[in-house]
Structure 1
Amino acid sequence: MDVDGLPMEFPAQDLPPRVRIHEVGPRDGLQNEKAVIPTEVKAEFVHRLADAGLTTVEATSFVRPEWVPQLADAEKLFPRVTDLKGVALPVLVPNERGFDRAVALGARRIAVFGSATETFARKNLNRTVAESLAMFEPVVARAKADKIHVRGYLSMCFGDPWEGPVPVHQVVKVARRLRELGCDEISLGDTIGVATPGHVLDLLAQLNEEGVPTSALAVHFHDTYGQALANTFAALEHGVTTVDASAGGLGGCPYAKSATGNLATEDLVWMLHGLGIETGVDLGRLTATSVWMAEQLGRPSPSRTVRALSHKE
């Protein structure tokens, strides 16, 4: 570590020169909080993340308020962050009603949330996998007709707490269908954090073999078994250039009780910068943002990098 609290760079060969971090803290992180965070705090969180150099910040979710009460203020929040220039602000929409709400406020990037397993599809969306894909179809079609970018989240890509290990071919089948619907990007979710690097590489290779290009893939790892960074490195070796992360390690999954927090953005940035990979993120500002948010939540950040750098000060 150098005197500024940044990692020394030792660039590795055959890795992407730049990675786009898809910051999910304001949505995937805060939706799991027991307390409802005030709208003005959420808006400041998004602004602070953008000020730290993050160019994609997932702002909120236009789901029914009773499903995710922590994000029931989507209509109030989104107009408070649209002043950000050069920052993509994707929002989650589960169906056409959510799409209408988001587009009415000017959203230009949306995400739908699917599952690779039947049990989780029923618990999360009260539908089978096929029924959920059918629900997404008109949403994606309308978005593409209006030149709106569409991300498809795919949960339980490696393991499911009810069904156990998930066969790779099963994940590939649903991912291909999302791609066929018109999703510009597919985020592969290790929802309960059981993936290992070899499993990640095998899934990515089989997706490529079935016509889903690496350029259309993102990875979304949880750190239940401490494998999130190792899995990310494996994805980078394969050529993936979009990685989901949550500032301060906030979040998990409200419908999967064995899921722990997301990969912390600071931990990811520390590794990427050490590898000489550009992110555009100011690690000091990002750490300060997570320390501030931890104060709002009344507990310390679970991110090891946040703890190390804030204690150093």
Structure 2
Amino acid sequence: MSEFVKIVEVGARDGLQNEKTALTLAQRKDFILDLMKTGVQAIEVGSCVSAKWVPQMADSDSLFSQLPKNPNIQLSLLTPNLKGLQSALAVGCSEVAIFTAASESFTQKNINCSIEQSFEKFADVMAAAKANNIKVRGYVSCMVDCPYEGAIDPKQVVQVSKRLLDMGCYEVSLGETIGTATPDRVKKVWDICLSELDSRVLAGHFHNTYGMALANIYQSLQQGIRIFDSSIAGLG
């Protein structure tokens, strides 16, 4: 197993979308330009969603088009539907992300559909991405706990992750969404995931709500996970 660790910086999307005050497009651009100077090799620029629902992410496609392209830095956009993907394609984006959850309740609350319906929506996105040679990364929220259902069965996490990979995602990031997990519980999820999936296509996304993110990352490293999402200074 390689000791190289890949960091995907998601603060400009997952961090800023949770901030009550929306930054201007110029502020978001300056923020990402500063991130590009840090040595991070992958940055999620924003989300191609309706500004009505997520005003913090307004004009993410325009923001993407204004950023300098560096062959050593992969810039991506979150595209929850075909319209979002088309916006990303229009500005020359070569990597996008889609998201669902291992919890039915969380999926209903966040994207207003069931897990099954989320995959139905992804079919068109994946087909268009494949046709345009676009890489797709998948997100699975609630890898350990759900704010509505409590503990999540790790087998459900594996099932959803496998479906994303089977659809064509090159990598799947498992999100410890509410920060309630401890290393022993994280270990159980990875044990089951790694019994069926290759560690090289799995990433960890740990929230630090209760100060456990680093401990959970350390546990993940011990089990061979080498890809992690970060949000600068705990933003969001």
C-alpha distance in 2 between matches for 1:224 and 1:239: 24
Secondary structure of 1:53 counterpart: coil
Deviations 1:61-102 (A, max 9, x none): 001111111111213211111433421011100100100011
Deviations 1:216-251 (A, max 9, x none): 000000112211111101111111111101011101
Secondary structure of 2:175 counterpart: strand
* 1:215 corresponds to: 200
Aligned 8 A contact 2:46 2:60 in 1: yes
* 2:150 corresponds to: 164
- 1:157-196 counterparts in 2 under 5 A? 157-196=143-182
* 2:232 corresponds to: 247
Letter in 1 for 2:150: G
Aligned 8 A contact 2:9 2:232 in 1: yes
Letter in 2 for 1:77: L
1:46 aligns with 2:32: yes
1:73 aligns with 2:42: no
1:208 CA drift (Å) = 2.4
* 2:81 corresponds to: 95
Number of residue pairs aligned between Structure 1 and Structure 2: 236
TM (norm. structure 1) is: 0.73
Structure 1 residues 84 and 44: alpha-carbon distance in aligned structure 2, compared to 1, 3 A threshold: farther
Aligned 8 A contact 2:62 2:91 in 1: no
Aligned 8 A contact 2:154 2:193 in 1: no
Aligned 8 A contact 1:141 1:182 in 2: no
C-alpha distance in 1 between matches for 2:91 and 2:152: 38
C-alpha distance in 2 between matches for 1:163 and 1:68: 24
Of 192, 200, 218, which aligns to 1:233?
Answer: 218
* 1:123 corresponds to: 109
Structure holding more strand per residue: 2
Aligned 8 A contact 1:47 1:84 in 2: no
Higher-Rg member (1/2): 1
TM (norm. structure 2) is: 0.96
C-alpha distance in 2 between matches for 1:146 and 1:195: 38
C-alpha distance in 1 between matches for 2:64 and 2:194: 36
C-alpha distance in 2 between matches for 1:29 and 1:52: 17
Secondary structure of 1:89 counterpart: strand
C-alpha distance in 1 between matches for 2:179 and 2:33: 29
Segments of 5+ residues of structure 1 without an aligned counterpart are: 1-14, 252-313
Letter in 2 for 1:91: L
Aligned 8 A contact 1:204 1:214 in 2: no
1:202 aligns with 2:188: yes
Secondary structure of 2:75 counterpart: coil
Aligned 8 A contact 1:172 1:207 in 2: yes
What RMSD over aligned residues (CA atoms) do the two structures have, in Å?
A: 1.3
